[in-house]
Amino acid sequence: MKTFFTVEDGVIGKVQQTNGETPAGQDNWREGPNDLYMYVGQKIEWFDENMNRIPDDELIKQGKRKDNRGKWYNKNSISDTKLIYNMDEDAGDDWTQEAPLENEPHQEFDKKLNKWVVNEKKKERAEKETAVSEIQAEITTAEQRIIRPMRAINAGRATKYDKEVFEKYDALIEDELRPKLQQLEKELEST
């Protein structure tokens, strides 16, 4: 069997196998090697001068094909991904095969560097917000521990231990935790 093909705009237009005669009806048929495997839409540049198909790995090295297969990440949303199964399929400008940084929730894609980077401002703000929450929780816990000794003091039946517990947690709240909380809140307002 002989294989004949046409080329239209740099791609294989038609393919027909015959017993040896050029297909009728068109003058632009080209003859390829016997039993040539090609399909409509393949680029003519994927074949060498003898019309043998160049392997994909070599086409990639030559820059004639792009291997876009695999997992792609949205540059605007770390959690948004898609899979591409076709070699030359265009993922679009909002997608990258560069994997996001592991265990780093405060990152963004830097289009100039073409990679994921840590957003230090967001990370610092989140760390301060976490610290504020932790201090508020410590204050709540200390206030809960001070209630029983305070009730005993107010009722006039406080022991030495009640007074020590009250003074310990009152000092912790007023001298340590509240000043830290106020400082962090000021820093958060300025970021």
Q: Which residue, among 135, 123, 133, has the nearest Cα to 191 in the 3D structure?
A: 123
Predicted confidence at residue 68, as pLDDT, reads 94
151: part of which helix (H) or strand (E)? helix 120-155
Element (H, E) at 183: helix 178-190
Tell me which DSSP letter residue 125 carries: H
Q: What pLDDT is recorded for position 26?
A: 66
**Residue 115 backbone class (left: φ over 0; alpha: ψ -120 to 50; beta: rest):** beta
**Could you report the average pLDDT of every consecutive run of 10 residues in the chain (191 residues)?**
85 84 77 79 89 91 94 92 94 94 92 94 93 96 94 93 94 95 91 76
Can you point out the beta strands (E) in the chain? 2-8, 11-18, 30-32, 70-74, 77-84, 95-96, 107-110, 115-118
Q: What pLDDT does 25 receive?
A: 67
- H helices present in 103-119, as ranges: none
